[in-house]
Structure 1
Amino acid sequence: MERTVARAVVEVLADAGVRRGYTVPGESFLGLLDALAAEPRLTLVSTRHESGAAFMAEADGKLRGAPALALASRGPGATNLAIGVHTAEQDGTPMLVLLGQVPSTKLGRRSFQEVDLAAMFAPLARWSAQAGTAAEVPGLVAEALSAATGPRPGPAVLAVPSDFWDQPAPDPVPAAPPAVPAAPDTAEVAALLDAAEQPVVITGTRSPEDHAELVATAERLGLGVHTGFRRQDSFPEDHPQHLGHLALGVPALDALEHADLLLVLGMRLDEVTTQGFRYPLPHQRVIDVEHGVAGFLRELRTTAAPRSRDWSQARAAVRAFSTAPEGTDGLHPTDVVRTLRRLAPADAIVTNDAGNFAGFVHRYWCFTEPRTQLGPCNGAMGYAVPAAVAAKLAAPERTALAMVGDGGALMTGQEVETAVRLGAPIVVVVFQNGLYGTIAMHQAKAGFGLSAVDIGGVDFAGWARSLGAAGYTVASRAELEPSVRAALAADRPAVLDVRTDPDVLTADTRLADFLES
C-alpha cells in the first residue's frame, strides 16, 4: 500500500509520543482519520463538540507534559476549537492542532467554509501555518511539535488542504531540530540566594520530578514558596514553607511584598499570579526558569549554602485563610468542597471550571500531590467536564472530579456522554445556583442592577441519567455525604446536582451585601 501524507503524519505523531487525539470528525481530513484508526499507538476520541475536543487535548497535554492532538475541520469546526487553543496558549500547555482546509485548488476563492486559518490562529497560538504543498506536510507537523514543546510550550496549529492527505508522502520525513532552552547560571543564582534575606519562589511546575526537587530544595535553602494561579499542585499546600496560592482575592501578601529575590519556576508571570501586574516590585530581582526545572534545582541545592528562614508568620496567614468556617443551616459550597476533599483519594485529579464557585475549590481543597489540578488560567467556562474526561483517559487508575457551575455545565457538559461511551467513570459536581454569579458580582460591585445573569433551573441529575450516567440531586447537607460516596463508588460517570444559595458569592461575601449598600 502506498505511503500517504496522512500515514506519514501519523507516524510522526506516534514517534513523538502523542497518544490521543480529540475531534469532531470532518470531511476535510478523511485520509487522516483512516490513518489514525490504523495506528495502534494512537487513540482517537470522537467528542460532541470541537470546544470539548480542544479542552480535552489541553487537559491531556497539561496532565502528561506531552502534546495531545486536537483535530477539526475548516471554518465552523476550527472556530469552535479556538477557545481551547487560547486556553493552551495562556497556560503554556503543549498542544498540536491539525485543521482540515478546503482543497488546494479552491483556496482563496471564498469556498465553502473557507477561512484563512493560519492568520486566524496566529494571535492564539505559539506557531501557526498552512501547508502549501502535500510534500511539506509531514515536515511541518514535525516543526509544529517542536514549537509546541519548545522553551515556551504552547499550541501549534497547522492547516492542511483536504486533497493533500491522500497524496504520496516524501521519504524520509525531515525532522525539525529540537529547541534548546537557555539554562540559567546556577553559580550566579546560588550567589544571589546566599545574599538574599527573603527569597521567594513562585512556581507553576507540573511534573512529579519538579515537585519533589522543589520540596527538597526549598527545605535545604529555606525558601518560601507561592504557587501560581490554578497551579496549586506545584507545591504541597500543607507544607510549612508554602506561602499561599496567588489567585484572585487572596489576603495580604507580606512575604511576597518584602521579598528581595523571586525565583519563578515553570510558568510565566500572568496577570492573576502577579496580582494585576503589581509584582515583581522594582527592587525585586527575578530569576526565570521555564525549562529543565528539576535539573536546575538539583544543581542549585548542592551549590547554594544551606539556610533556615522563618516563614511562620506568612504561614499562619495562609492557614487562617484556608480554614473553613462552620457551615450554615443550608447547603454551602464550602461544605461541598470539604466533603469531597475528605472522601476523595489524595491523588484525585480535580478539574475546575471558571466562576465564583471555583474560589471555594482554590481556598479549601488543599492540593498536596503533583498533577492533581487542571484549571483554565484564561478563565474559560466549559473547561471542567471535558478536562475530566481527558484526565480519566490519560490516567484511568485515578479519580477524576470535575467542579463546574451550572452555567459552564451546559456549555460542554454533553461530553458526559463521551465519558459514558468510552467507559470513563468521571464524577461531575455541578454547583447550581441559577445565576451567572461572577458577572452578578461584578455588576453589584460596580453599582449596577443585575442584568442577563439569571439562568433557568435544570434537573442535572435527570439530564445525567438521560446521557447514561448516574445522577444525584443534593439539596441539603444531610444528602451531601451519601451522594458523594455513591458517586465516587459508581462504576460509570456520575453527576452531582448540588443546589446552592445564589446569595453566596464567596466564602466572605454575599450578593445582598452589595445590592443593599
Structure 2
Amino acid sequence: MRTVAQAVTRVLADAGVRFGFTVPGESFLGLLDAFEAAPELTLVSTRHESGAAFMAEAHGKLRGVPAVAMASRGPGATNLSIGVHTARQDRTPMVVLLGQVPSGKLGRESFQEVDLAAMFGPLAGWAVQPATAAEVPAAVADAVARATGPRPGPAVVAVPSDFWDEPFEDQLPRPQPEAPEPVAVAELADQVRSARSPVVIAGARDTAAHRELVATAEALGLAVYTGFRRQDSFPEDHPNYAGHLGLTVPDPQRKALEDADLVITAGMRLDEVTSQGFRFPLPGQQHVEIPTAAAEVLRELRESLPARQRDWSAAHQAVREHMTPPETDDGPAVHPTDVVRALRELAPRDAVVTNDAGNFSGFLHRYWCFTEPRTQLGPCNGAMGYAVPSAVSAKLAAPERTVIAIVGDGGALMTGQEIETAVRNRAPIVVVVFQNGLYGTIALHQAKSDLRLSAVDIGAIDFAGWARGLGAEGRTVNTREELEPAVREALSSDRPCVLDVRTDPDVLTADTRLADFLEE
C-alpha cells in the first residue's frame, strides 16, 4: 500500500516533474525517502533553502516544467521564501512542498510553527495546508495544475509531518490545469493589418515561440522588443530587433515603442521594468496580450495575413550602437565591459548565462547579444544571490551546455556556497565574480541622492581560494592581460571554476562613474 508521500511523488513524476531541491528537514522525512526511491526523480541536497528555491525556479524557467522546492517548517520555509517571490514575479512554474508541525500540535505555537498557508498565500498567490492526510495528493496535483496554468507561478502545499507516512488507498489524482482564455486571432489579424507601426514585446522563452516570432516578425514587418531579463526571446542581432526594455533604456531605443499604434505582449506579463515604470502602453495605443501558447497564436496570425515589409533600420541601428562594446581605458583594475566581451567571444552561442542583481549585470544586458532561446536566467524581482544556484540547476538540467554565472561579490557571499553543490553533483559551471568591494547599486543611489555612502563596503575576499576550499577550481584575474587566458581555461575545465575578477569600483555602469557624483 502506498503512503501519502509515495502517492505525492507518483503524482509529481506522472506530471513530468524530474527534479527536487532541498535542505533536508525532519518534518518531511517520508517525502525525502519517497523522492529518493522514485526512479524518475532526482533529489538535490543544497546548502541553503534559498539556494534550493532559486534552483527550482531556474529549472522551471529553463525547461518550462516545474521543479519542486522542499523545506521544513518555520526557519526553513522562511529561508526558501525569496525564491518563491522570484517565481511569482517572473511567472515561473514551481511547486513548493513544506513540512509542518504534527497535526496534533497545530495552532499551539509549537516548535518552529508558522501558519505557512497564511504566510505564503500573498507571496505565491496560492497556498494550502490540507486538513487530512488523504487530501494531500490532491492538493499537490492542484499545485502542479496552478503552477503550469494560464498564469504560471509558484504553488505551495504545507503538510503536517505525520501525514507523510499515512496510508493512501484512493486513486491517484491528476493535475487539471485551467484552460487559457483563447486569443481572438481574427481580431488581432485585423488590428495588425490596419496598424501603421505594430510592435511586439516578447517574453516567451521556449524554442517554438522563439522560432515562430522570428518568422512572424519577418513576414508581417513587426518590430520586436524583449522584456526585462527575457532577452533570449528574440535574436538581438536580427534587423527587426528594437531593444531590451530593461533598466536605463536610452531614448533612441524607446522611439519605435513610443511611435507604435499597436503593442502586442507575447508570453509575459507587462511588469514595471518592462513597461518602463508602467508608462507603456501609452494612451491611444492598442494593447493585445498573448499570455500563453505564443507559438501557436503567432503562427495562426502569420498564416492569416499577407506578407508586409516595414523599415525598422533606424530602430535596429540605435540598438547596434548601444550594444557595441567600446574600447576601455587602462586602469588599476579590470573593466566590466572587457569581462563580458571576453566571455561572449569565447563562450558558445547557446551558453546559458545566469545573472545576479547588481549594477554589474547591466554590462551583461547591454553587451552580451543573446541570439538563442533559453540562454538567459535572471531574477526579474532583482533578488541577490540568484546567479550561482541557478547556474547549478541549469547545468543539472542541461549537462551538455556551457553554463556561466555572472555575480557580484555581494551576491556571491549570499549563496556562493552552492558551488559545493556543483562540485558534489559534478556540474562544471563557470562562476565569474565581479569583485569591486562595493554594493554598487546602492552606492550609486546614495551618491545620486547626495547622501553619504553607508553600509555599502564589502571586504576584500579571496574568492579563488574560497572556491578551492569548496572543491572547485579558482583563479584570480587582476589585469586585462590575465582575463582571456583565465576565461579559456575555465570554459574548458571539467570541474566547477570560479574566476575572481577584480573590477574597478568607480565603474558602476557603462556610462557612469561613482566619482562623478562624489566630486564637490
Partner of 2:94: 95
User: Which whole-Å CA distance do the structure 2 matches of 1:174 and 1:472 have between them?
Assistant: 51
Conserved 8 A contact 2:260-2:285:
yes
Partner of 2:143: 144
User: Which whole-Å CA distance do the structure 1 matches of 2:182 and 2:476 have between them?
Assistant: 52
Counterpart mapping for 1:10-409 below 5 A? 10-252=9-251, 253-330=254-331, 331-409=334-412
TM-score (norm 1): 0.99
How big is each residue's C-alpha offset from its partner over 1:442-469, in whole Å with a ceiling of 9 and x where there is no partner?
0000111111101101000000000010
Of 456, 460, 463, 1:460 maps to: 463
How big is each residue's C-alpha offset from its partner over 1:312-368, in whole Å with a ceiling of 9 and x where there is no partner?
111111111111110111310000000000000110000000000000000000000
AA aligned to 1:58 is E
AA aligned to 1:490 is S
SS in 1 for 2:38: coil
Unaligned residue ranges in structure 2 (runs of 5+): none
Partner of 1:487: 490
**1:434 paired to 2:437:** yes
Deviation for aligned residue 1:126: 2.8
Superposition RMSD in Å? 0.7
Conserved 8 A contact 2:15-2:175:
no
User: Which whole-Å CA distance do the structure 2 matches of 1:111 and 1:355 have between them?
Assistant: 39
Conserved 8 A contact 1:233-1:369:
yes
User: Which whole-Å CA distance do the structure 2 matches of 1:378 and 1:412 have between them?
Assistant: 17
Structure 1 range deviating more: 319-328 or 79-88: 319-328
User: Which whole-Å CA distance do the structure 1 matches of 2:238 and 2:169 have between them?
Assistant: 54
Conserved 8 A contact 1:126-1:148:
no
AA aligned to 2:503 is T
Deviation for aligned residue 1:129: 0.5
AA aligned to 2:321 is A
How big is each residue's C-alpha offset from its partner over 1:63-113, in whole Å with a ceiling of 9 and x where there is no partner?
000000000000000000000000000000000000000000000000000
Structure 1 range deviating more: 372-381 or 312-321: 312-321
How big is each residue's C-alpha offset from its partner over 1:14-63, in whole Å with a ceiling of 9 and x where there is no partner?
00011000000000001111111110100000000000000000000000
Cα 1:176–1:372 change in 2 (3 A) is closer
User: Which whole-Å CA distance do the structure 1 matches of 2:178 and 2:205 have between them?
Assistant: 20
Unaligned residue ranges in structure 1 (runs of 5+): none
How big is each residue's C-alpha offset from its partner over 1:253-277, in whole Å with a ceiling of 9 and x where there is no partner?
1000010001100000000001111
AA aligned to 2:278 is F
Conserved 8 A contact 1:474-1:480:
yes
AA aligned to 1:80 is N
User: Which whole-Å CA distance do the structure 1 matches of 2:156 and 2:180 have between them?
Assistant: 21
**Identity level (%):** 72
User: Which whole-Å CA distance do the structure 2 matches of 1:214 and 1:271 have between them?
Assistant: 23
How big is each residue's C-alpha offset from its partner over 1:408-450, in whole Å with a ceiling of 9 and x where there is no partner?
0010000000000000000000000000000000000011111
Deviation for aligned residue 1:183: 1.3
Conserved 8 A contact 2:11-2:173:
no
User: Which whole-Å CA distance do the structure 1 matches of 2:338 and 2:174 have between them?
Assistant: 53
Moved over 4 A (4+): none
How big is each residue's C-alpha offset from its partner over 1:103-159, in whole Å with a ceiling of 9 and x where there is no partner?
000000000000000000011113110011000100010001000000000000000
How big is each residue's C-alpha offset from its partner over 1:183-219, in whole Å with a ceiling of 9 and x where there is no partner?
1111110000000000000010000000000000000
Partner of 1:514: 517
Deviation for aligned residue 1:171: 1.6
Partner of 1:418: 421
Cα 1:143–1:274 change in 2 (3 A) is same
User: Which whole-Å CA distance do the structure 1 matches of 2:264 and 2:306 have between them?
Assistant: 16
Conserved 8 A contact 2:475-2:500:
yes
TM-score (norm 2): 0.99
Deviation for aligned residue 1:174: 3.0
How big is each residue's C-alpha offset from its partner over 1:230-250, in whole Å with a ceiling of 9 and x where there is no partner?
000000000000000001011
Deviation for aligned residue 1:484: 0.3
Report how many aligned residue pairs link the two structures: 516
How big is each residue's C-alpha offset from its partner over 1:154-175, in whole Å with a ceiling of 9 and x where there is no partner?
0000000000000011320233
Conserved 8 A contact 1:70-1:96:
yes
AA aligned to 1:503 is D
User: Which whole-Å CA distance do the structure 2 matches of 1:313 and 1:164 have between them?
Assistant: 62
Deviation for aligned residue 1:178: 2.4
Conserved 8 A contact 1:126-1:147:
no
Structure 1 range deviating more: 446-455 or 353-362: 446-455
Deviation for aligned residue 1:177: 2.5
SS in 2 for 1:492: coil
SS in 1 for 2:284: coil
**1:447 paired to 2:450:** yes
SS in 1 for 2:174: coil
User: Which whole-Å CA distance do the structure 2 matches of 1:188 and 1:23 have between them?
Assistant: 47
